[in-house]
Structure 1
Amino acid sequence: MHDKRLSILLIDDDADQVDLSATFLEQELPDAETTTVVEPTAGLTEAIEGTYDCVVCDYDMPSRDGLAVLAELRDAGITVPFILFTGKGSEEIASRAISEGVDEYLQKGGTEKYTILANKIENLVEKHRAEQQVQRGFRAIESAQEGIGIIDENGVYQYLNDAYAAIYDRGRSEIIGEHWEMLYPTKEVDRFTDEVLPELYERGSWSGVATGLTKAGDPVHERLVLTPTSDGGHVCLVQRVAEDTGPSSEEALETRALNATSVGVTITDPDRDDNPLIYVNDGFEDLTGYDRDAILGRNCRFLQGEGTDPETVASIRDAIAEGETTSTTVLNYTADGDPFWNFLEISPIEDDSGTVTHFVGFQRDVTELIAHRNEMEDQIEWLNEFAEVVSHDLKNPLSVIRGNIELALQTGEMDRLSEAKQSVARLDELIDDLSNVMRQQELVTNPESVDFAAVFRSLDQFDTVSRSVDIVDSRKIVADEQALARLAENLVRNTLEHGGPDAGIRIGTLSDGFYYEDTGEGVPDGTTDEVFKPGFSTKEDGTGFGMVSIRQIVRAHGWTVSLGESDAGGARFEFTGVETVT
């Protein structure tokens, strides 16, 4: 549940109640996203046309009650969990709700009810998702081209798909409930009983060829893969083959490799020079784009390229040399030269004496999985860094508030409280802005036309400095005004911290952006590349996150920032790649 967001639809004719429910549910379920509707007909339409994990609905509403909404949802094929959350409770309503298919019934009450409601939503959605996954798996089995059957401990068919029955020119109903012996001649029945089934349960699997019988008694040449189940039965995968010519040693190995799978399967022969491929399945061709006739007889290192890690290749080579099983993720390349991350598993195949005769390999394309993992790691790094930036950016208005209050207490100058109040307002704006950033994980959410110089003038908490700002020229640019204000605050704060209150500030336009420079102490030699890294500061008590905040805002806008020296020996920041408004 933790890696998927919850989308919840709340239907209640009481606007205050439904907003309260949404607020508490989002507190109880941080990954939840709620949508509220106060009219049942509109709520029904939203539930049908939208995509939701759960519907929470009031009972007593105008035009139709909650159970009527449920009935129409089910008629429309919407099967997501439905919770009746009602202030009008009775045994009669509860009984009726359960009989009409409500997944949960809960009566409204105190705020503690929302904890119960959140738990019910989470459990129901998790169960529903699991059921959907099972159904998808079942549909995949039903539509598979390979025959798939399940046989119980007594040898009786409990399930098989249409492809399985078609191999023997029969319908499913003719086979289910019958013993597997009905599909084989006496000679094959004896072989299975004496050899195949004992080997299956001793080794944990069996694959090979056999001859079955159609309904008319004609022979069916087939490939079988058998896997035991925990209850003493087994699963059978079957493919029809053109003729029974008597399997060669390589053909027998091919049947062990589950040729009918979408996973790339290869078999190599270490007794031959350079351990070449002697078999690849269709899945391997689809994965790599190579035609089997062009690669059989070659070592599979042709999949490697300039980005393939030599240490990973060496570990694979060492495992093969030792005759050991290995699994790893390696960067490979398709026949067209496109890179993909390959999750590779290699296992030795031994003969009866325990000697390794071949290696079987399984390949899966995990490029999207790795990209998602990297994206999540980048996101976590961004959030950690942003948390430090938030702390840094909130401290300045807090210090202004604290300083003005202390001065008011010491001197009795009540005007100080007015200045503190202005900083409170700015702090409130900052909190709202940063809260939106954390929710959306985007620093730039509302780009619009902004006069960048006006942003510097509006920084009330830096009033004594802003009066000395030399505005050479200005223009309107496309930016998120709140984010731009944070950038300006950090620039001014940097000047105050390193140049003092008397340092001059100058801003103006560039051909594709704007600049900010001061008359402070400048940047120490050799540190311009380090300034925007987290934790870097030239002050002993500095956090180093002011520049990180600037970097984040610049990147979020798609701009570029460079740092150099002003004509007065201070710092000069140039922001380029900025979209202007003409």
Structure 2
Amino acid sequence: MRSSAVNPGSAAEVATEAFAAAFSASSTPMVLTDPSKHDNPIVWANDAFLALTGYDRHEIEGRNCRMLQGEASDPTTIRQIRDSISAETQLEVELFNYRKDGSRFWNAMTITPVRDEAGNLRYYFAAQADMTEKHRLETALKGANDDLERQVQARTADLLAALEQKTALLHEVDHRVKNNLQVISSLMLLKARRTPEGEARDALQGMAERIGALSTAHRMLYSEGDVTRFNLQDFAADFLSDLTAGVDTDRMAINAEIDAVAVSAAMAAPLALMMHELATNALRHAFPDNREGRLTISARRRDGGLNIRIEDDGVGISAGVPNPAGFGRSLVDMVVRQLRGTIDWDEHGPGTRVEIKIPLDAATLSGSTS
């Protein structure tokens, strides 16, 4: 029986030849330099490297790889390569290089020090790739993005200009509506003063006050920066100021707790009319014969809706003097339906409590009050 042994040296040589054959046939450009020789020259390159650079083999052997550098090559990147070689460390960089015919290309390089078994530096191996098309696409994409951004900015500027124009127009509309409502209210008040006491005079007085409330709502819209929103708290402060001006504060206390709720502009007039009607009716009918009392008005945002409560400690609805010509309660019920809300009238002895719940997402109203 014959025995055989494998020569380790021969196995290493076979492996080296196999790697050399694989690298030579690879489509990835590769080059090997020898740092033990002057100026770290090229000592081997595969055919892919020659195809990438356009040089013949005899034109590159013995020369440093800087032969591929030129005017567009980044000095900072060149310094990184130099420092990495001095430190004997691996480096991955991209650099503008030049072919033999002078054309430029983006060269992505991975430079790796090659050491022997003892750890001594023997060679530098560089695998390379032409990244020109990638950079071209990136540049084209950046150009397209820049152009799109310019278009978006231009379109945004146009939209902002149109919005400013629309806002100015809406402000002007609210301003004119407010002025017209004030004129109508003043005319009705003037007519009421010249009308004998009775139902006709009371009716004129009541309509003038309702129109005044609508005028206040449009004035608030005119003064707001956002013409699409109406701040209920600001309106309530203005409305209550007018309300308390005609009240004897020695016998009547008016308390208000209004959240800063922003509602759509379309809800401004209905809310203004409803709050005015409830508050003035309470003051007018709940405290006859100079009766002392308290009126509380609250508006809170709860569960995605607006909860409004008007409460007094007066004589109550059933004890009030019937007014066949009045339609305040019917008007409030109509406005609440228009706002798609619910209303509850409750006599809690003494006094009356009215609770209203309105959904704040009711952007589309069933009608128009203003």
**Common topology (TM > 0.5):** no
Identify the structure with the greater helix proportion.
Answer: 2
Taking structure 1 as the reference length, what is the TM-score of the superposition? 0.28
Taking structure 2 as the reference length, what is the TM-score of the superposition? 0.43
The higher radius of gyration belongs to 2
